[in-house]
Amino acid sequence: MRLFTAVYPSAEASAHLDLALGSIGGAAVADPGAGLRWTPKEQRHVTLAFHGEAPDGAVPGYATSLAAALALVEPFEVALAGGGSFGGRTLWVGVGEGLPGLRELAAAVGEAAAEAGLRADDRAGGRPHLTLARASASRVAQRGMTSRGMTDRGGSRRPRGRVEEGAPLAAWAHALAVYRGPAWRVTSVHVVASELGAGRSGGPLHRDVAVLALGRG
């Protein structure tokens, strides 16, 4: 199975983010058009480690190792802040408060995965983020083509091939750069199986295989 380990935002944090997105994109959030897919609310997460394809038999051992590692990590506060796009194709919101805690958590996940013989690509050590939407390559290319050869308000020609202003995620990325969300307390970690193409609109289908608490309770 395709496996990753992640932290999920609280319902309040996700609702606050929805309000911000609605104020930026309006109806386009509900109906973005062809070639743009929003992450379902219930699948929004901050990835700690991506494990790739893992045998079913390795999961119980990993969960046991991870539970022991998480017992040494106390719950902490996290808040979403800032945002942007990767390559004009992936819209994301970043993490402000709680970065040290997330990185400590990612390290614990990595150690547990190694003990269980699983790959663990660290996703929280560099730029922890929550993915909001993805645009297809064809949509980015189409918007880029429509921006070529256009003139600005002063009548000057824009440089050919310039795609940033026509990128489908540009308005959201620009506005999210100043986004600040409410903090929530991270008390658990999810180990998730992801089946590509089995979810809504051809997206992945996520299923929890383990939800493990932080601290000793």
Please provide the DSSP assignment of 143-210 as one string.
HHHHHTT-B-TTSPBPPTT--GGG-TTHHHHHHHTT-EEEEEEE-EEEEEEEETT-SGGG--EEEEEE
- Name the superfamily (CATH) of residues 2-80+94-132+183-213: Cyclic phosphodiesterase (3.90.1140.10)
Q: Please list the pLDDT of the chain residue by residue as tens digits (217 residues).
A: 899 999 999 999 999 998 888 877 654 454 544 467 888 899 999 999 999 998 888 899 999 999 999 999 999 999 999 999 888 888 999 999 999 999 999 999 999 999 999 998 876 657 789 999 888 654 444 444 333 333 333 443 333 333 334 456 787 888 889 999 999 999 999 999 988 766 566 667 899 999 999 997 5
Task: Please tell me the predicted confidence (pLDDT) of residue 139.
Answer: 41
pLDDT of the residue at 200: 63
Domain locations in the chain? Answer: 2-80+94-132+183-213
pLDDT value, residue 125: 58
Q: Give the residue numbers marked as catalytic.
A: 45, 129
Whole-number pLDDT of residue 165:
40
pLDDT score of 197: 66
